[in-house]
Amino acid sequence: MLNQLLLALSIPFFFNALGAHATSCTTSQLNNGYYNVNDQCTQCPAGSYCRNNEKFACSAGTFNTEAGSSSSIACSSCPLGTSNPNPGSSSPSDCTPCSPGSYSSSLGAIQCTSCPAGTSNPNTGSISSSSCTNCGAGHYSDLGSGQCSVCPAGHYCSGGDKFACPAGTFSALSGSMNSFACTICPVGSVSSPGSSQCHECPAGTFEIGDNKQCKTCSAGTFSTPGSSACTECTLGTYQPNSGQIQCISASPGHFVPTPKSSLQLACQAGSAQPLSGQASCDLCAPGFFQAQAGQSSCCQCCAGYYSSNFGSKTCNQCGAHGTQSRGTSQPGSTSANACMAGSNPQPVKTCVQPSNDACPAVIAKAPSKRSPSQLHADFCSISIPRRHWCKVLNGGMECVDTMNDLEMCGGCLQPGHTEDPTTGARDCSAIEGVGDVRCKQGKCEIGSCRKGWEVSRDGHTCVRVKLADIHRHFSHASSKGKGWEIQL
């Protein structure tokens, strides 16, 4: 009987080997680990089982090493400490041991269970949660860690958890165990959460008090790096922009009268400021004017004009005087009383007063042999006899007050001469070795001489110090009588 059964089973395979038509499984085969594939009876492969002409893969977490299985009982569960996420496994090696940081406490696990954060497990193939041990103080771990890590700088670790130091604090050390390790940042510096160091607020900003952020300095202020507050611009300085490192000095012709200013102001007409960084402007003195705003200097009134007040915006023209339709005056005159009638030769013009009150090109008042191209703008009058018309180097005439003029003191001098023995006129500035000197009542009055010189006994010249000593010895010898001999 057995032989007949074996013969019946072998006939399909025999015909298949000879190239005969495929043969479907019998009912008995379908119930004993076979299934049809394209009308060909096929044995159920390892990793699966076949029943009622269907093939079923062993579920994840199991495996089957035998072919021809007809029941799920043939699928074996993966052992403790392992897992298998893939269905249809045919080898026990498909059950992978749990990696460090995990465990499997049940048979047929699809995946291993991760150790919770704050614990670690360095072993492979662990079968119990007891394999996960708590991290010590100053250490932490993430979910599924094989080992605990030292708490990094900027943090502190307690109970296996890691906490960032809050913004405005820092911790430079690793392994910190509590929040006391987080230190408040110094004044003028800030930090973000979890910082290991603080950072100075950059120039143009300041730290507002909580060490968490740097705030930009407003216009009219500035700051240096690491500032806890902005510094106000002082008088004479300003800053139009925010976030700056310094203030700007007011330009000449401008001023800044208040602190913490964001702009400079132009000097008003009638005033000027030659310097930078000033808090006010200077009013134009009498004899000067300024018609425009924002100027660095005042203008001198031309000859024939005057201004008598401080802060003048224009000069007044001299009126009619005697037979003259227009009087004349010195440049820079301060009163209408300075206006006089002209005389021959006519006074030299120094400038023409522009109708728009712009600064005229005033020629200097004191021409001399040292500046032959310049002409004096003074005037001569019969009513003031001490003024004389004197020749100058360029061949012209100059009206000179010989009682007070430094270079023609006591009378007119020929161009290029320093004194006139006939009239006693002298150029006081040409005295050799002189330092401080003036012309007073037509005489040179020496105040001091340069180093190495001293005023002579008569006060009219400067003499070298050594020569002066000899004169004193000589004078002393004469007073004592004969017998002295001076060797030069």
Give the residue among 61, 64, 57 at the shortest CA–CA distance from 78.
61
Give the list of residues 6+ apart from residue 30 with CB closer than 8 angstroms, or none.
36, 50, 51, 52, 53
Most confidently modeled of 150-154, 346-350, 360-364, 469-473? Answer: 150-154
CA–CA dist 231, 203 (Å, integer): 11
Range 359-388 average pLDDT: 41
pLDDT category, 355, cuts 50, 70, 90?
A: low
3-state secondary structure of 276: coil
CA–CA dist 436, 420 (Å, integer): 22
- Side chain identity at 346, as an amino acid letter? Q
Which stretches does DSSP call E strand in 313-413? Answer: 316-317, 387-391, 397-401
By DSSP bridging, strand 82-83 and strand 199-200 are unpaired
Tokens, residue 315:
């000069």
Q: Which of 205-219, 230-244, 256-270, 415-429 has the lowest mean pLDDT?
A: 415-429
Q: Which of 86-90, 103-107, 395-399, 430-434 has the lowest mean pLDDT?
A: 395-399
Q: With 0-12 CB in 10 A as exposed, 13-18 as middle and 19+ as buried, what is 297?
A: middle
At 229 the pLDDT is 93
At 189 the pLDDT is 95
For the chain, what are the domain ranges?
2-96, 166-229, 303-363, 384-488
Range 370-383 average pLDDT: 34
Give the residue among 76, 36, 40 at the shortest CA–CA distance from 52.
36
At 367 the pLDDT is 33
Tokens, residue 352:
């023409």
3-state secondary structure of 289: strand
Give the list of residues 6+ apart from residue 398 with CB closer than 8 angstroms, or none.
348, 367, 375, 376, 378, 389, 390, 391, 392
At 39 the pLDDT is 87
135 versus 423: which is more confidently predicted?
Answer: 135
pLDDT digits (tens, 9 = 90+) for 43-79: 999 999 999 899 999 999 999 999 999 999 999 999 9
Is a pLDDT exceeding 90 seen at residue 383? no
Percent of the chain with pLDDT over 70: 77
Q: How far does CA 281 lie from the centroid of its chain?
A: 30
Range 422-449 average pLDDT: 87
Range 18-39 average pLDDT: 79
pLDDT category, 85, cuts 50, 70, 90?
A: very high
CA–CA dist 165, 194 (Å, integer): 5
Range 272-289 average pLDDT: 92
Q: Which of 30-34, 177-181, 331-335 has the lowest mean pLDDT?
A: 331-335
